[in-house]
Structure 1
Amino acid sequence: MRSSLRYIEVLPSPALAPYVQCFWALTGQAAPGQAYRVLPDGCLDILVDLNGGAPRLQVIGAMREAGVVPLPAEVCSVGIRFRPGGAPPFLRLPLHELTGGHLSLDALWPREAREWEERLQEAVGLPERLRLLEALLLRRLAEDRPEGALLHAVGLIHATRGQVPLRTLEAVMAVSPRQFERRFQTQVGLTPKVLCRIARVRHAVALLGAQPGLPGAHLALEAGYYDQAHLVREFRALMGLTPGAYAREQAGDGFVQSSPGSGI
């Protein structure tokens, strides 16, 4: 049986856009034994597993490296993907405590999590469930806003594809290097250096997808690495395999988030 998975992303409303990158859904039938590679992106997700029975909600912390997730035969999951630095007004805990791990949502929101589970179970169809997630999240929005200087620093990392010097980011935050790293890690879940590495390797992934035949040395140069050996080391450390092996994996079932639809 061939895989019939469908992955979509839906943009948030303007009120949530500073915090949320997208709402997403993954549905369909997986091929026997199929798994997919989840790439690190610096984001934190709330995952809602709807594969039979009552919905199960988990907070998935920012990832330092890719993870390979086995899929059940029938897949039905929806989620909220927070921007790096966008989750603190909702979760109210140091985000580095969640990095590389997950936590049941009811451990953070005992009353709200029960309501989310009940209402998501009653909702019919993906559009209604995604609209419901947005409405419930808006109710949870605190009055305090993300730190503007920190979000500016995160924006510089993404705009430069990880090529911004740390001293430039420290100047944006107007704090000492130690304070900068501590505040960044608390509000993003990763150190600024790790987020830069992730931004750079994701740029390499995008280049590899757009130009599959690009020679390794040219890929390394365009992605901002010293040389091809540097690219291969970083790619293997963050993605779990070499650029060539990743390209071959994409030629098969691929990564379900590689080509998202724009909506439902």
Structure 2
Amino acid sequence: MPTLPRYIEVRPRPPLTPYVQCFWALTGQASPGLSHRVLPDGCLDILVDLGPQGRAEGDAPRLQIVGTMRQAEVVPLAAEVCLLGIRFRPGGAYPFLRLPLHELTGRQLSLELLWPREAREWEGRLWEAEGLQVRVALLEELLLRRLAPGLWDGVLAHAVGLIHMTRGQVPLQTLETVVGISPRQLERRFQATVGLPPKVLCRIARMRHAVELLECQPRLPGAQLALEAGYCDQAHLVHEFRTLTGLTPGAYAREQGAGFLQSGTVSGI
């Protein structure tokens, strides 16, 4: 079994709960050639690389925005990993970034391009901070200073909540009724504040439910998995699963069984 870094999630303080799903850390030694399959979840992340390579070269921590993903990405890991992240809820990053999030979808770029002054401050202070609790508290402080509450779209957040509560099974007509706008306006609003159309977010939510079922029951027959996850049939499940994760359900289960690192493992500080 390969050596896996430790993955930890930390809940945000109440003032940030509507916007931030969690802070997370990935730290430790990784076996040579180990990769990390990152699945789409409708979230946008800010990633801080505190790895020893940058420290040895005298570089500041690398801060990046990882836009909302449409499909999985396989990321190779360094031998010694030290990553810290902010995972925003779908739509939660908008009051901080203050730009249409579809411009960032599927992209990864330096935080300094959007926040030149804040990024430099974050780099210096995170460089000096020691320990996960101290770093998370620092990120919370910095985020609260950047927050523009007036940009929070509570009605759209309710629509996103319905998508997750129904595991992607809510009809778009219901979302249009909840938000009270036309289908075209609904899509534009989702694109701007979430970075994805509502239909794509529903597909991702359904896939994530299938992944949860598969991780609990790796030997679950494909037809039963399709039925329990809300797909029309097994062929529909396989097509959607391969499109969003890059693998068939069976191949995904085998990959996880072989020790492939996946962010489903959660623990606390």
1:5–1:256 contact (8 Å) kept in structure 2: no
Q: In structure 2, what residue type is equivalent to 1:249?
A: E
How many matched pairs? 263
Distance (Å, rounded) in 1 between the aligned partners of 2:46 and 2:4: 24
Distance (Å, rounded) in 1 between the aligned partners of 2:75 and 2:28: 15
1:208–1:247 contact (8 Å) kept in structure 2: yes
1:89–1:142 contact (8 Å) kept in structure 2: yes
Match of 1:183 among 189, 198, 204: 189
Match of 1:103 among 102, 109, 112: 109
Matched residue of 2:149: which SS?
A: coil
| Matching of residue 13 in structure 1 with residue 19 in structure 2 | no
Q: In structure 2, what residue type is equivalent to 1:133?
A: L
| Counterpart for residue 214 of structure 2 | 208
Shift of 1:87: 0.8
Q: In structure 1, what residue type is equivalent to 2:226?
A: A
2:35–2:260 contact (8 Å) kept in structure 1: no
Distance (Å, rounded) in 1 between the aligned partners of 2:185 and 2:196: 14
Q: In structure 2, what residue type is equivalent to 1:131?
A: A
Q: In structure 2, what residue type is equivalent to 1:188?
A: V
| Counterpart for residue 250 of structure 1 | 256
Query: Over residues 15-51 of structure 1, what are the superposed CA-to-partner deviations in whole Å (9 max), with x where a residue is unaligned?
Result: 0000000000000111101101001000000000111
Q: Which moved more, 1:188-197 or 1:205-214?
A: 205-214
Distance (Å, rounded) in 1 between the aligned partners of 2:215 and 2:259: 14
| Counterpart for residue 147 of structure 2 | 141
Shift of 1:256: 3.3
1:61–1:100 contact (8 Å) kept in structure 2: yes
Query: Over residues 30-88 of structure 1, what are the superposed CA-to-partner deviations in whole Å (9 max), with x where a residue is unaligned?
Result: 11011010010000000001113220100110000110000011100001000001111
Distance (Å, rounded) in 1 between the aligned partners of 2:262 and 2:139: 22
| Counterpart for residue 26 of structure 1 | 26
| Counterpart for residue 75 of structure 2 | 69
Q: In structure 2, what residue type is equivalent to 1:143?
A: P
| Matching of residue 91 in structure 1 with residue 76 in structure 2 | no
Query: Over residues 83-109 of structure 1, what are the superposed CA-to-partner deviations in whole Å (9 max), with x where a residue is unaligned?
Result: 001111100010000001112111111
| Counterpart for residue 125 of structure 1 | 131
What TM-score, normalized to structure 1? 0.97
Q: In structure 2, what residue type is equivalent to 1:254?
A: F
Q: Which moved more, 1:200-209 or 1:137-146?
A: 137-146
| Counterpart for residue 260 of structure 1 | 266
1:6–1:256 contact (8 Å) kept in structure 2: no
Distance (Å, rounded) in 1 between the aligned partners of 2:132 and 2:21: 18
Any unmatched runs of 5+ in structure 1? none
| Counterpart for residue 165 of structure 2 | 159
Matched residue of 2:177: which SS?
A: helix
Q: In structure 2, what residue type is equivalent to 1:180?
A: L
Any unmatched runs of 5+ in structure 2? none
| Counterpart for residue 196 of structure 1 | 202
Against the structure 1 CA distance between its residues 143 and 231, is the aligned structure 2 distance closer, same or farther, given a 3 Å change threshold? closer
Matched residue of 1:241: which SS?
A: coil
The CA RMSD over aligned residues, in Å, is: 1.1
| Counterpart for residue 119 of structure 2 | 113
What TM-score, normalized to structure 2? 0.96
| Counterpart for residue 49 of structure 2 | 49
Distance (Å, rounded) in 2 between the aligned partners of 1:207 and 1:91: 34
- Give the fraction of aligned pairs with identical amino acids, expressed as a percent: 72
Distance (Å, rounded) in 2 between the aligned partners of 1:246 and 1:114: 39
Matched residue of 1:58: which SS?
A: strand
Distance (Å, rounded) in 2 between the aligned partners of 1:192 and 1:214: 29
Matched residue of 1:158: which SS?
A: helix
Matched residue of 2:213: which SS?
A: helix
Matched residue of 1:68: which SS?
A: strand
Q: Which moved more, 1:16-25 or 1:166-175?
A: 166-175
Shift of 1:145: 4.4
Query: Over residues 131-173 of structure 1, what are the superposed CA-to-partner deviations in whole Å (9 max), with x where a residue is unaligned?
Result: 1111111111123141111001100000000000001101111
